[in-house]
Amino acid sequence: MTRSLNKVIIIGNLGRDPEMRYTSNGKPITTFSVATSRTWVTSDGDRREATEWFNVVAWNNLAEICNQFLRKGSRVYVEGHLQTRQWEDDKGCRHYRTELVANEMLILDNRSRSEPSGFDESEEDGPDLPF
């Protein structure tokens, strides 16, 4: 059997606050959107920019961490794999949604000392974060 790879790494900003809920068997799941931008210069010398939105899903402990520490505008590194779900609505229409299922997340924001962060800021190098 040949090997394949489904790995995605993005760096961007949250477009909305994370939303956490629980499955029927009690597993936490958090969803949020991340915008990434790329810029280029056209052959005419015009500078262009395009934004791509990613729907991100985090499960279990990572879901709880994302819900606790991320907010709209947060700059994040997210690593995971793409997964496409499909379902049928009440009218029989088939829908598809491609999501980045996260297995790693790093907060890239610079924390300001003047803003409350929820961390013990008395540590000289900052706290050891669980992610």
Alpha helix positions (H), the chain: 60-69
d(CA 53, CA 63): 19
Query: Which amino acid is it at 67?
Result: N
Cβ partners under 8 Å of residue 62, min gap 6: 30, 102, 103, 104, 105, 131
Full pLDDT tens readout for the chain, 131 residues: 789 999 999 999 999 999 999 999 999 999 999 999 999 999 999 999 999 999 999 999 999 999 999 999 999 999 999 999 999 999 999 999 999 999 999 999 886 533 444 433 333 444 444 44
Tell me if 15 sits within 8 A of 56, measured CB to CB.
Answer: no
Q: Which CATH superfamily is domain 8-107 in?
A: Nucleic acid-binding proteins (2.40.50.140)
Tell me if 31 sits within 8 A of 55, measured CB to CB.
Answer: yes
